[in-house]
Chains A and B, each alone.
Chain A
Amino acid sequence: EDQVTQSPEALRLQEGESSSLNCSYTVSGLRGLFWYRQDPGKGPEFLFTLYSAGEEKEKERLKATLTKKESFLHITAPKPEDSATYLCAVRTQGGSEKLVFGKGTKLTVNP
């Protein structure tokens, strides 16, 4: 069974304190790993797609990387507005178009 595990469940940072979120996956053939951001009461918002080990994507203070077993979302010098839940999802071979999501990491950045 395809599984996505995110850690930590929650993370508190001070503004400017860089850190990383982890997404580990066990799937039967990866066809893409995706990062989303979700604010309270809102739907998830797409951030990145990664397809192969070694691939990296960047957007403002966020950088996503991928290995054969996990992905990291690095947050550099975060600001309070980066506070949100970050969701990782995978699409797998034989899984049609469905995404399998992890439970997310709730990030709080204090000013």
Chain B
Amino acid sequence: GAGVSQTPSNKVTEKGKYVELRCDPISGHTALYWYRQSLGQGPEFLIYFQGTGAADDSGLPNDRFFAVRPEGSVSTLKIQRTERGDSAVYLCASSLIQYTGELFFGEGSRLTVL
């Protein structure tokens, strides 16, 4: 498909474990975003990439969270020492042109920390 692809779709882990979530944006989209959505809430901004660099990481909650996009396409969100409060749906989005709010979202990775 031509949409944003996220893997895994569902991840269950134990408290304290390390987790990686992957995002394949739409081909040619230079801007990539990570959001987190808890039940009954709207998406919450985590980080924004323009190309390979993180242009804004102000939404990362603490230093256990880190994201990379080494070649300007695929991105990985990494969470160390997971906590139960990290349980949420992690959404990735991409856009062709920056400075627009027209984001194309993937279906998300649901993370459950036991």
A97 and B98 contact, Cβ closer than 8 Å, known pairs A43-B4, A103-B42:
yes
* Chain A, interface residues (CB within 8 Å), range: 20 to 34
How many interface contacts (CB-CB < 8 Å) are there between A and B?
Answer: 64
* Chain B, interface residues (CB within 8 Å), range: 20 to 34
Query: Interface on B for A, CB 8 Å cutoff?
Result: 4, 31, 33, 40-45, 48, 50, 55-56, 58-59, 91, 93, 98-108
Q: Give the Cβ gap from A23 to chain B, nearest Cβ, in Å.
A: 11
Chain B residues within 8 Å of A46, by CB: 101-104
Chain B residues within 8 Å of A100, by CB: 45
Interface set, chain A 62-94, CB cutoff 8 A to B? 87, 89, 91
When chains A and B are docked, how far (Å) is the Cα of A17 from the Cα of B100? Answer: 33
A89 and B48 contact, Cβ closer than 8 Å, known pairs A34-B101, A43-B93, A97-B98:
no
Does B33 lie within 8 Å of A43, measured CB to CB? no
